[in-house]
Amino acid sequence: MKLKTVFPIMALLLLISVWTVSAAKGYKNGRLWIVHEPDTMSPYVNCYSEKKQISQNKLTWQQNGYSGKCVSLNGTGQYLEVGYWQLQIHKMTVAGWFYWRGAADGQDEQAMYSQRLFTLSHNDYTYLTLMPHAKKTEKKDKNGKTLDGVYMEFSMGDKKNRVKYELYNPADPGKESFGLSQNKWHHIAVTMDGQYLKLYIDGHLRFEQLLVLGVEEMRNNMLTIGAGRWDDPTLNALIDELAIYDYAMTANDIKELCSTPPNPASSLTKMITTTSTVSKSNTTKDSNIFGLPSWTVWTVGGLVAIFIILSVVLSIYNKPDNAKKGRYKH
Nearest to 30 by CA among 71, 70, 86, 98: 86
Answering whether pTM is above 0.85, one says no
Residue type, 70: C
Going residue by residue through the chain, which has 330 residues, state the pLDDT in tens, using 9 for 90 and above.
555 555 555 555 554 444 444 557 888 889 999 999 888 888 999 999 988 999 998 999 999 899 889 999 999 999 999 988 888 888 899 999 999 999 998 888 899 999 999 999 988 888 999 999 999 999 988 899 999 999 999 998 888 888 899 999 999 998 999 999 999 999 999 999 888 999 999 999 999 999 876 676 666 689 999 999 888 899 999 999 999 999 999 999 999 988 755 444 444 554 343 333 333 333 334 444 444 445 455 665 666 667 667 666 566 555 544 444 443 343
Please count the residues of the chain. Answer: 330
| CB contact burial 219-231 (16+ within 10 A = b; e otherwise) | ebbbbbbbbbbee
Q: What letter would DSSP give residue 28?
A: B
